[in-house]
Amino acid sequence: MTSQRDPAEDPDFDLGSARVCAIVNMGSGREAGDDIADKLRTALHGRVAALEVRGTGQGDDLPAMARAAVAEGFDLIVAAGGDGTQAAVAGAVAGTEAAMAVIPGGTFNYFARDLGSGETVEAALGIFDAPRIRRVHVGEMNGMIFLNNVSFGAYPEILRRRESIYRRWGRSRLAAYWSAVAALWTLRRPLRLTARANGEERHFTTALAFVAKSAYQLDTFGLEGADCVRRGQLALLLARAKRPGPLVRSALRLALGKTARYADFDLICADEFELETVPRHEYVAHDGEKTWMDSPFRIRVRHGALKVLVPAESGGRDAG
């Protein structure tokens, strides 16, 4: 698999002279935030010029904490948590001189897996043994950075159901998949969407639309569009299903790796999109989080905008 990074990779990262701020989402995933913070302190003790570990149990605090760390001049911001945590930190770090390190602490950890930096906390700590900087592309929607995808229609409702199921049954991938089925069965209305890209305007009625930045995630679900991402573009996928029954069947095909790709989704690849939705005030999912936002949604790629720490031996996957 070809990595979609800039041709030039930055030199080895001088960890010994770096001021490091580690931001830990205490509420992410299945591993306790306190344990992750302790592992970070142990891994970095005596290896960096300065280290601060800052934890929060409130996801809303993460963007402000990351912006503060950048403003205070930290050289490296370590983001420990799930994909939402990584995106919140990336939003503050992208386009600055600071670099970011990814410690997976969520349920799916697509960005960490996409980078090839490790799927567990212990594996990811290996980035500090022989670190290098890789510049990767990020997505941006109306000024908000995303790393994996933004989605409209059914998926934000899936996330809402997921939280209630997590509270009752605990965090697991099985619980996440069950929340998807439960949400899809109760879907009440399709989404009307106008997409402008590549000089064309197209109109869709769909139960689910999403813009993907992660080739790894698309490959995982057997969806088209990964090649677009590897070329440095974004992939807009629109489910042809408009009602619960067909959408659930499509979701089951995804889960079983038997997606009828072109039959299930329309695909548009582009560097930039403008999407208008009806209703205008739309519940939007972004990297596992959800927010009410107003259309039109202007979405683009910011090429090489984020500096990420990776192990020297890592070839990466498709995060760039």
Evaluate if pTM is beyond 0.75: yes
| Dist CA 229 CA 210 (whole Å) | 14
Q: What integer pLDDT is reported at residue 3 of this predicted model?
A: 41
Q: Token match 């057997």: residue?
A: 222
130: amino acid identity, one letter: A
The pLDDT value given to residue 132: 93
Q: What's residue 65's pLDDT?
A: 95
**Length reported for the chain:** 320
Query: Tell me, what amino acid is at 248?
Result: V
Contact 134, 10 (CB under 8 A): yes
Residue the block writes with tokens 């069965």: 185
What secondary structure letter does DSSP report for 269? E
Tens-of-pLDDT digits for all 320 residues of the chain?
Answer: 334 444 345 668 999 999 999 999 987 655 678 899 999 999 999 999 999 999 987 767 899 999 999 999 999 999 999 999 999 999 999 999 999 999 998 878 899 998 988 889 999 999 999 899 999 999 999 999 999 999 898 765 665 555 554 555 555 555 555 555 555 555 557 789 999 999 999 999 988 899 999 999 898 877 889 999 999 999 999 988 766 566 656 655 554 445 545 568 899 999 999 999 988 998 898 998 889 999 999 999 999 999 999 987 655 555 55
Q: What is the pLDDT of residue 193?
A: 95
